[in-house]
Amino acid sequence: MTDPAFNIIIVGGGIAGLAAAIALRAERRNITVLEQSPFNKEIGATISLQPNASKIVEGQWGLEAALKEQGSMVDEAFEVYNTSGTLEMRIPLSTKERFGAERMMYHRADLHQLLKTKATTAASPAPPVQIRVSSRVIGCDCETGEVQLETGEVLHAHLIIGADGIKSTLRTAVLGKEIDALPTGLSAYRMMIPTTKLLQESEFVSVISPEKSCTTMVMGQDRRLVMSPARNGSIYGVVALVPDESMHESSSHTSWTTKGDHSKMLSSFAEFPSWAQRPLHLAKDVGLWQLRDLDPLSSWCRGRVLLIGDAAHAMLPTQGQGASQAIEDAEAVGAFYEDFETKGRPESGLDVQHVNEAIFNCRYDRATTIQAYSRAAAKPATDPGSTKVKMSPAEFMEYNCSYDGALEWARRSTVVS
């Protein structure tokens, strides 16, 4: 008689959910991802993965060549300007020797699509992950493993991964109460500009080469521009961080697809050097995100359910670690469940609960520390009335990027304590 299959439901098909699907995929496992959206489009934005995560995605999961084909770029430096337009810092980022992998820049849609392909490809001995789109989950019983969909359909699984993002429904099921993400006082405009257009802007290109593989930051006291190329330098991504109150835009906007007001954005950066404002002038579609994060939760797991990614530890994007931590979570889930069927029994709620607790214990301190660092990195970049940039974007890099997977981290933590 063959062993019963291990049935896994992943709620949410974002970066965390797809990464967990890849990490858990194995023979005799049935994995279903339930995604509420129709999945027809990821947002147009650049995303950087830090070495701690790029080594998992590109190395361990073997996506380096496929991402390169889409124009992935190695980030070679942070270049930090002040609002007078002076270059204050150039921090070289060749991180391979130091951290075992590079800081990588992608188009977000490319990363998402390739994770999806890796999870669902038939070219693997393990059954392909099933992705069900337009499938919104409205509730979950953590002890029995019952998942309720908006349509009234009820599904069951031995293990449920809650990867349903910052407004997580599964977080409420795990904690027994609703925990809202907190406004951080910051909002972000995001836009993508074709590099060919920027190259016609002589004032801009006299300072910045938009095809160059580097991240440019222009730091004001309470607002900043973070700009980087993607797809082999053919597009240029800009994130413009502003205090909420200076935008006079509705604070209820938390969706990826909210439209920003172009003229309000321009007036927010009127004091910045005129070359730095050029990409903002050129931007056609401007997205707006009110940035929220979570205080550390008391737990990420209950019974058969484990929270990962933004559902567990949403953080500010000031260190580009949100998706990177989601990928670390996914790798941890894969590592702790790797030989589960030989040691534990999927049908035993207790066996599953114990593994989920071990993952939580392994991941909690690190993700919580990086959440706190992300808040620290959002503090004013200059003193009032001064243009001197007093913070360094590399301040927390040593801790953030020194990572070699969950099992090694757990061993290291045991030795230290």
| SS3 (DSSP) at 146 | strand
Stretch that binds ligand FAD, among 5-13, 77-85, 91-99, 178-186 (CB under 6 A): 5-13
Q: Does 172 bind ligand FAD (CB under 6 A)?
A: no
Q: Which two tokens stand for residue 151?
A: 């349509």
Q: Does 140 bind ligand FAD (CB under 6 A)?
A: no
What is the per-residue binding string for ligand FAD in 144-163, x denoting contact by CB under 6 A?
A: -------------------x
Question: Footprint of ligand FAD on residues 46-105 (CB under 6 A)?
Answer: 47-49
Alpha helices in 162-206 (DSSP H): 169-175, 195-198, 202-205
Stretch that binds ligand FAD, among 22-30, 120-128, 314-322, 394-402 (CB under 6 A): 314-322
Q: Does 324 bind ligand FAD (CB under 6 A)?
A: yes
Written as one string, the DSSP assignment of 102-168 is: --EEEEHHHHHHHHHHHHH-SSSSSPPPEEE-S--EEEEETTTTEEEETTS-EEE-SEEEE---TT-
Q: Compute the distance between CA of residue 293 and CA of residue 314 in angstroms, rounded to an integer.
A: 5
Which are the contacts of 259, defined by CB distance < 8 A and separation ≥ 6? 285, 286, 287, 288
Q: Which is nearer to ligand FAD, 34 or 198 (CB)?
A: 34
Among 30, 37, 213, 232, binds ligand FAD (CB under 6 A): 37
Q: Does 120 bind ligand FAD (CB under 6 A)?
A: no
Q: Does 215 bind ligand FAD (CB under 6 A)?
A: no
Question: Within its chain, how far is the Cα of 28 from the centroid?
Answer: 29
Residue 393 C-beta: closest distance to ligand FAD, Å: 12
Q: Using alpha carbons, select from 109, 130, 111 the residue that is nearest to residue 119.
A: 130
Q: Does 165 bind ligand FAD (CB under 6 A)?
A: yes
Q: Does 164 bind ligand FAD (CB under 6 A)?
A: yes
Stretch that binds ligand FAD, among 15-23, 207-215, 335-343, 409-417 (CB under 6 A): 15-23
Written as one string, the DSSP assignment of 233-276 is: TTEEEEEEEEEHHHHT--TT--STTPBP-HHHHHHHTTTS-HHH
Judged on CB neighbours under 10 Å (0-12, 13-18, 19+), 44 is middle
Q: Does 10 bind ligand FAD (CB under 6 A)?
A: no
Q: Which is nearer to ligand FAD, 118 or 387 (CB)?
A: 118
Contact 3, 295 (CB under 8 A): no
Q: Does 310 bind ligand FAD (CB under 6 A)?
A: yes
Cα dihedral 389, 237, 19, 303, rounded to 10, equals 60
Which amino acid is located at 236 in the chain?
Y
Q: Which is nearer to ligand FAD, 14 or 229 (CB)?
A: 14
Q: Which is nearer to ligand FAD, 29 or 116 (CB)?
A: 116
Q: Which two tokens stand for residue 290?
A: 């009110």
Q: Does 239 bind ligand FAD (CB under 6 A)?
A: yes
Residue 54 C-beta: closest distance to ligand FAD, Å: 10
Among 52, 169, 215, 290, binds ligand FAD (CB under 6 A): 169
What is the per-residue binding string for ligand FAD in 258-297, x denoting contact by CB under 6 A?
A: -------------------------------x-x------
Paired strand residues for 105 = 48, 73
Among 9, 11, 227, 235, binds ligand FAD (CB under 6 A): 11
Contact 189, 205 (CB under 8 A): no
Q: Does 15 bind ligand FAD (CB under 6 A)?
A: yes
Alpha helices in 121-168 (DSSP H): none
Our CA angle for 118, 400, 358, nearest 5°, is: 65
How many residues in the shown chain lie near ligand FAD by CB under 6 A?
36
Which are the contacts of 10, defined by CB distance < 8 A and separation ≥ 6? 17, 20, 21, 24, 31, 32, 33, 34, 160, 161, 163
Stretch that binds ligand FAD, among 35-43, 90-98, 201-209, 360-368 (CB under 6 A): 35-43
Chain residues in the site for ligand FAD (CB under 6 A)? 11-17, 34-37, 47-49, 136-137, 163-166, 169, 188, 190, 239, 289, 291, 309-311, 317, 320-324, 326
